[in-house]
């Protein structure tokens, strides 16, 4: 690939990252969305189920998606289809909240199960094709720069989105549920705009290996041999599952704050701004670590920080809602680090001719993401926040140990 094309493609991916981040901050799944669901129902298990669908649905189908997609030389069309389905799910949520939130909130909750499922599954195959495009268009060195640059641009855009969210909730110009309807509609428009750059990318063909008996059943049977023959990959799968314990309670930091401090809605935007600030400022750290020490160092620091957050939340909950803002600053650090570290590391260790397979199997075997949010809601209801938060910290520190001392890849 010549240098001119590389720069143009670089711009298209940054364009997507900018508008995607602006869009997703409108319905941030750690602050805004938990508050919306908490306004619709008092049952925490409902949010646990929705969050499990949101995180786990694409992973359950990733092996199927990768088996299907690996037969195609060109993957960009799957990315565009996924983006537009996600945009429609935003529009659907906006319509249901507008029509039923006040008089029939249960209808909104039921609709969310379908719309979040559509949002998640479409994001699954969009994510696979997105990673495949990055793998084909950029070298290993350029990927780390792209991820950190995209994260910085996206975080800056998300900060602007956070300011919008903060003003929507603090000024009182839009009453419930129109405040959420407005944000969801912006999400719909933003995703459509984010997709525009991909239309101009001329995708190079992927390596397609055709063999007899290449059925889905045989493909699934090969997964144990794949893990057995690549110990770095199997260790990566184990550690990523353990690191997913931080996702188990991410949405509950906001619910914990509402239960502990009895805060009003103005804190939603405030905490979101702290979270986005964490993603912005941490990019300097992640970018430096990726360039100087590689993506493995990013993952190690990310996992260790994820283990500190639950402990920090328990301590800062005794100091008031203002001090508790620091929790969301650290959450921003971890979210940014996961995006930069895990995907880049996997692209480094995946063979080129098996890249789509590695990406798909990784997603499907990251099975704990499916059940952890439900487990989090059950543990919190049954044992309280303290037990659940400390359990997450212990598992995260164990994952840090395994990745630091058991992984052989530099």
Q: What is the pLDDT of residues 35-53, one digit of tens each?
A: 888 888 877 778 778 877 8
What's the mean pLDDT in 373-379?
83
More reliable by pLDDT, 237 or 221: 237
Q: What is the pLDDT of residue 311?
A: 95
Q: In sequence order, what DSSP letters do the residues of 198-234 get, joined into one string?
A: GGG--PPPPP----TT--HHHHHHTHHHHHHH-HHHH
Instruction: Judge whether 188 and 113 are in contact, CB under 8 Å.
Output: no
More reliable by pLDDT, 224 or 115: 115
Q: In sequence order, what DSSP letters do the residues of 292-320 get, joined into one string?
A: HH-HHHHHHHHHHHHHHHHHHHHHHTTS-
Q: What is the pLDDT of residue 216?
A: 62
The dotted CATH code for 3-201+213-406 is 1.20.1250.20
For residue 191, is pLDDT > 80? yes
More reliable by pLDDT, 25 or 70: 25
**Percent of the chain clearing pLDDT 90 (strictly above):** 20
For residue 200, is pLDDT > 70? yes
**What is the 8-class DSSP label of residue 27?**
T
Residue 260 corresponds to which tokens in the numbers above? 């502990």
What's the mean pLDDT in 5-18?
82
What's the CA gap between 391 and 166, in Å, rounded?
A: 32
Q: What is the pLDDT of residue 363?
A: 67
Lowest mean pLDDT of 212-221, 325-334, 400-409, name the range.
212-221
What's the CA gap between 68 and 84, in Å, rounded?
A: 20
**Percent of the chain clearing pLDDT 70 (strictly above):** 87
* Confidence band for 106, pLDDT divided at 50, 70 and 90: very high
Q: What is the pLDDT of residue 375?
A: 83
What's the mean pLDDT in 94-114?
93
What's the mean pLDDT in 13-17?
88
What's the CA gap between 161 and 187, in Å, rounded?
A: 10
More reliable by pLDDT, 370 or 116: 116
Residue 251 corresponds to which tokens in the numbers above? 């949405």
For residue 124, is pLDDT > 60? yes
Lowest mean pLDDT of 153-157, 199-203, 267-271, 350-354, name the range.
350-354
pTM surpassing 0.85? no
Q: What is the pLDDT of residue 107?
A: 94
Q: What is the pLDDT of residue 3?
A: 52
What's the CA gap between 339 and 222, in Å, rounded?
A: 28
Q: What is the pLDDT of residue 5?
A: 63
How large is the angle between the packed helices 355-365 and 231-243, nearest 10 degrees? 40
**What are 128-157's pLDDT values in tens digits?**
788 778 877 877 667 767 777 887 788 788
Residue 269 has phi, psi (to 5 degrees) of: -65, -35
What's the CA gap between 30 and 262, in Å, rounded?
A: 17
| E strands, 210-272, in order | none
Q: What is the pLDDT of residue 138?
A: 76
For residue 88, is pLDDT > 60? yes
For residue 67, is pLDDT > 70? no
Residue tagged 């921003």 (tokens): 332
Instruction: Judge whether 47 and 255 are in contact, CB under 8 Å.
Output: yes
Sorted by sequence, the CB contacts under 8 Å of residue 162 that are 6+ apart come out as 25, 28, 269, 272, 273, 275, 276
Share the mean pLDDT of the chain.
82
Question: Closest by alpha carbon to 365, among 66, 81, 130, 47?
Answer: 66
**What are 266-281's pLDDT values in tens digits?**
788 888 889 888 888 8
Residue tagged 């209808």 (tokens): 107
* Confidence band for 6, pLDDT divided at 50, 70 and 90: low
What's the CA gap between 26 and 173, in Å, rounded?
A: 16
Lowest mean pLDDT of 1-10, 18-27, 185-194, 249-258, name the range.
1-10
Q: What is the pLDDT of residue 208?
A: 61
Q: What is the pLDDT of residue 62?
A: 65
For residue 361, is pLDDT > 80? no
Q: What is the pLDDT of residue 209?
A: 60
More reliable by pLDDT, 42 or 83: 83
Instruction: Judge whether 324 and 255 are in contact, CB under 8 Å.
Output: no
């Amino acid at each position: 690939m010549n240098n001119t094309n590389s720069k143009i493609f670089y711009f298209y991916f940054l364009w997507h990252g900018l508008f995607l981040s602006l869009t997703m901050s409108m319905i941030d799944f750690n602050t805004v969305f938990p508050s919306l669901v908490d306004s619709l129902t008092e049952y925490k298990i409902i949010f646990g189920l929705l969050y499990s669908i949101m995180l786990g649905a694409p992973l359950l189908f990733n092996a199927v998606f990768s088996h299907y997609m690996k037969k195609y030389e060109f993957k960009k069309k799957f990315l565009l289809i996924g983006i537009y389905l996600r945009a429609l799910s935003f529009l659907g949520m906006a319509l249901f909240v507008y029509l039923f939130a006040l008089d029939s909130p249960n209808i909104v909750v039921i609709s969310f199960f379908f719309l979040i499922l559509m949002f998640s599954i479409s994001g699954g195959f969009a994510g696979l094709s997105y990673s495949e495009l990055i793998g084909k268009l950029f070298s290993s060195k350029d990927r780390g720069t792209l991820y950190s640059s995209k994260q910085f641009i996206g975080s800056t855009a998300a900060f602007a989105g956070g300011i919008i969210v903060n003003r929507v909730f603090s000024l009182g110009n839009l009453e419930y549920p129109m405040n959420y309807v407005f944000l969801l509609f912006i999400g719909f428009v933003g995703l459509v705009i984010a997709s525009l750059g991909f239309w101009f990318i001329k995708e190079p063909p992927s390596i397609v290996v055709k063999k007899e008996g290449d059925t889905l059943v045989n493909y699934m049977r090969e997964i144990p041999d794949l893990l057995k023959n690549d110990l770095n990959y199997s260790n990566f799968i184990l550690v990523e599952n353990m690191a997913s314990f931080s996702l188990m309670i991410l949405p509950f930091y906001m619910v914990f704050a509402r239960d502990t401090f009895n805060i009003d809605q103005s804190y939603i935007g405030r905490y979101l701004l702290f979270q986005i600030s964490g993603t912005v400022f941490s990019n300097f750290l992640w970018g430096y670590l990726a360039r100087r020490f590689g993506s493995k160092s990013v993952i190690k620091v990310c996992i260790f920080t994820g283990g500190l957050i639950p402990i920090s939340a328990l301590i800062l909950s005794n100091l008031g809602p203002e001090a508790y803002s620091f929790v969301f600053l650290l959450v921003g650090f971890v979210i940014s680090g996961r995006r930069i570290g895990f995907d880049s590391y996997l692209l480094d260790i995946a063979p080129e001719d098996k890249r789509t397979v590695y990406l798909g199997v990784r997603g499907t075997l990251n099975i704990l993401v499916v059940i952890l949010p439900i487990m989090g809601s059950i543990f919190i209801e049954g044992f309280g926040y303290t037990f659940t938060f400390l359990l997450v910290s212990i598992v995260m520190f164990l994952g840090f140990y395994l990745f630091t001392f058991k992984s052989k890849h530099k």
